[in-house]
């Protein structure tokens, strides 16, 4: 495992932790009947290390060279405490190394919130979160960092892009939630307003040919409504977002807008599950003086996954995952004819099969194989020249995960 020796917090993360701590102390001081904090404190952690091998192209490091890449490591520590029965303080510090993406293992505040539950009853509960909250996006975004909560080593890349992970992961602001308990199901609503994270992964991917790029997030919105029927036998969710940022690229200034809509459906039975998610993604850059930079495309993505639970320790899955960067040019032919790059860089069709084994509740071993047509979700950091990428390629991953 290779982890960066830099352990500096981001300024925003440090400020958020400070706010969380102050609000927690105020809540404790205000309520004489507050619980003993020590009795409610919970601390958990996890570590994951993967091996990635590809026959062509690179993913999470130089995976097509030698014996593959070990540059996919995740280490996290989280805690929660209740200074009062209606207030929860929770945070997670994450160190993540994913090849040429992200901050090379630098620990940062993954999420950190003060959660005040203003209403709690048999039929309804509602509350508010202040701080860095995880975006309610699809089924897996809020728990995507913990391998034990993922159905596979890699989430479907058509929906949960790792190459621009920071944009959809979390936001700094305020989030509202409500849960309505019906006779045969539960309706959950969550909506947030905040400033999205715009790390280097987004800056390098959105404007790869610009030597100096910076993207500063603007106040954005994300919301989700989820229905769970009959104790989880059926789930359906609709997630929408309107994200924007100020851009400096190509010695020019402008705006970037990202507006995804995701429909998620899952059917669960004792031995198997079927999951599918469909997304429409509107991406627009505008207000640049250079009209060549201004553009608007609508991408489309979906996947279908079958999961089989053989017993309490073993499960396997089969998935088909597909995305196009521009649904008006699904094959990338117009993109290639315009001299912008190879057509296969505008889509990806991925057949995946894999298995997970839990020999112990705190240990998870995973393996999966991908056969991919297209390079639409490869990162430009690890594949700087799209012309040198291969349309058809295969990938094998193994991962060891521990938790406490």
Question: How far is 128 from 114, CA to CA, in rounded Å?
Answer: 8
* pLDDT score for 10: 41
Q: What is the per-residue pLDDT across 209-243, written as a single tens digit (0 to 9) for each?
A: 666 778 888 899 999 999 999 989 999 999 999 99
Q: What is the per-residue pLDDT across 337-356, written as a single tens digit (0 to 9) for each?
A: 999 899 999 999 999 999 99
130 compared with 199, residue with greater pLDDT: 130
Q: Under a CB-based contact definition with an 8 Å cutoff, are residues 226 and 235 in contact?
A: yes
Question: How far is 196 from 202, CA to CA, in rounded Å?
Answer: 11
* pLDDT score for 72: 94
* pLDDT score for 14: 46
Q: Under a CB-based contact definition with an 8 Å cutoff, are residues 119 and 90 in contact?
A: no
CA 187 to chain centre: 23
Q: Is residue 3 part of a domain?
A: no
* pLDDT score for 280: 97
Q: Domain count of the chain?
A: 1
How far is the CA of 227 from the CAs of 63, 183, 193, 240, 301, in angstroms?
Answer: 40, 13, 22, 15, 22
Q: Is residue 159 part of a domain?
A: yes
For residue 393, give the CATH number of its domain.
2.40.160.10
* pLDDT score for 33: 46
Q: What is the 3-state secondary structure (H, E, C) of the chain?
A: CCCCCCCCCCHHHHHHHHHHHHHHHHHHHHCCCCCCHHHHCEEEEEEEEEEEEECCCCCCCCCCCCCCEEEEEEEEEEEEEEEECCEEEEEEEEEEEECCECCCCCCEEEEEEEEEEEEECCCEEEEEEEEEEECCCCCCHHHCCCHHHCCCCCCCCCCCCCCCHHHHHEEEEEEEEEEEECCCEEEEEEEEEEEECCCHHHHHHHCCCCCCCEEEECCEEEEEEEEEEHHHCEEEEEEEEEEEEEEEECCEEEEEEEEEEEEEEEEECCCEEEEEEEEEEEEEEECCCCCCCCEEEEEEEEEEEEEEECCCCEEEEEEEEEEECCCCCCCCHHHHHCCCCCHHHHEEEEEEEEEEEEEECCEEEEEEEEEEECCCCCCCCCCCCHHHCCCEEEEEEEEEEEEC
* pLDDT score for 216: 85
Question: How many residues are there in the chain?
Answer: 404
* pLDDT score for 119: 93
Q: Is residue 1 part of a domain?
A: no
Q: What percent of the chain has pLDDT over 90?
A: 66
26 compared with 188, residue with greater pLDDT: 188
* pLDDT score for 210: 65
Q: Is residue 5 part of a domain?
A: no
* pLDDT score for 26: 46
- Placement of tokens 């409504």 in the chain: 225
pTM: 0.87
pLDDT category, 391, cuts 50, 70, 90? very high
Average confidence (pLDDT) over 182-210:
83
Q: Is residue 362 part of a domain?
A: yes
* pLDDT score for 104: 66
| Domain assignment of residue 32, given as a range | 11-403
How far is the CA of 190 from the CAs of 51, 135, 252, in angstroms?
Answer: 36, 9, 36
pLDDT category, 1, cuts 50, 70, 90? very low
Q: What is the per-residue pLDDT across 145-166, written as a single tens digit (0 to 9) for each?
A: 889 999 999 999 999 988 777 7
Q: Under a CB-based contact definition with an 8 Å cutoff, are residues 206 and 166 in contact?
A: no
Q: What percent of the chain has pLDDT over 70?
A: 88
CA 130 to chain centre: 20
pLDDT category, 198, cuts 50, 70, 90? confident
Residue 373 scores a pLDDT above 50:
yes
Q: What is the per-residue pLDDT across 301-348, written as a single tens digit (0 to 9) for each?
A: 999 999 999 999 999 999 999 999 999 999 999 999 999 899 999 999
| Mean pLDDT of all residues belonging to the chain | 87
Q: What is the per-residue pLDDT across 243-286, written as a single tens digit (0 to 9) for each?
A: 988 888 888 888 989 999 999 999 999 999 999 999 999 999 88
The residues, ordered by sequence, that sit 6+ positions from 21 with a Cβ below 8 Å of its Cβ are none
Q: Which two tokens stand for residue 50?
A: 């993967």
Question: How far is 259 from 139, CA to CA, in rounded Å?
Answer: 18
* pLDDT score for 34: 47
Q: Is residue 290 part of a domain?
A: yes
| Torsion sign (Cα): 322, 324, 329, 333 | negative
* pLDDT score for 48: 96
Among the listed residues 337, 316, 341, the one whose alpha carbon sits nearest the alpha carbon of residue 391: 341
Q: What is the CB neighbour count within 10 angstroms for residue 243?
A: 23
Q: What is the CB neighbour count within 10 angstroms for residue 193?
A: 14
* pLDDT score for 337: 94
Least confident of 2-16, 92-106, 112-126, 364-378: 2-16
Residue 91 scores a pLDDT above 80:
yes
């Amino acid at each position: 495992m290779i982890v960066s020796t830099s352990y500096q917090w981001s300024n925003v993360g440090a400020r958020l932790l400070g706010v969380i701590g102050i609000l927690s102390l105020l809540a404790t001081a205000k309520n004489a009947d507050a619980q003993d904090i020590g009795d409610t404190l919970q601390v958990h952690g996890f570590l994951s290390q993967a091996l990635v091998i590809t026959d062509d192209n690179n993913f999470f490091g130089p995976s097509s060279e030698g014996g593959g890449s070990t540059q996919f490591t995740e280490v996290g520590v989280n805690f929660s405490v209740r200074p009062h029965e209606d207030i929860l303080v929770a945070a997670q510090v994450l160190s993540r190394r994913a090849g040429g993406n992200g901050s090379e293992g630098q620990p940062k505040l993954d999420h950190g919130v003060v959660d005040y539950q203003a209403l709690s009853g048999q039929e309804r509960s509602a509350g508010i979160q202040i701080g860095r909250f995880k975006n309610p996006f699809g089924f897996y975004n809020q728990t995507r960092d913990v391998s034990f909560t993922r159905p596979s080593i890699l989430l479907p890349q058509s929906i949960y892009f790792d190459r621009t992970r920071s944009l959809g992961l979390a936001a700094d602001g305020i989030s509202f939630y409500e849960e309505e308990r019906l006779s045969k199901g539960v309706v959950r609503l969550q909506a947030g307003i905040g400033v999205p994270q715009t790390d280097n992964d987004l800056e390098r991917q959105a404007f790869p040919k610009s030597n100096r790029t910076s993207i500063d997030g603007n106040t954005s919105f994300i919301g989700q409504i989820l229905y769970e029927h009959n104790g989880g036998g059926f789930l359906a969710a609709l997630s929408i977002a309107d994200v924007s940022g100020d851009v400096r690229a190509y010695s020019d200034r402008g705006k970037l807008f990202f507006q995804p809509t995701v429909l998620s459906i899952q059917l669960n039975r004792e031995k198997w599950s079927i999951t599918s998610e469909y997304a429409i993604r509107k991406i627009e850059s505008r207000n640049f003086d250079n009209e060549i930079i201004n553009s608007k495309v609508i991408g489309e993505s979906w996947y279908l996954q079958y999961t089989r639970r053989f017993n309490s320790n073993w499960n396997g899955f089969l998935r088909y995952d597909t995305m196009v960067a521009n649904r008006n040019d699904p094959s990338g032919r117009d993109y290639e004819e315009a001299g912008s790059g190879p057509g296969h860089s505008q889509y990806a069709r991925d057949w995946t099969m894999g298995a997970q084994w839990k020999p112990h509740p705190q240990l998870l071993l995973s393996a999966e194989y991908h056969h991919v047509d297209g390079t639409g979700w490869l990162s430009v950091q690890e594949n700087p020249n799209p012309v040198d990428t291969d349309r058809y390629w295969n990938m094998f991953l193994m991962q060891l995960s521990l938790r406490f």
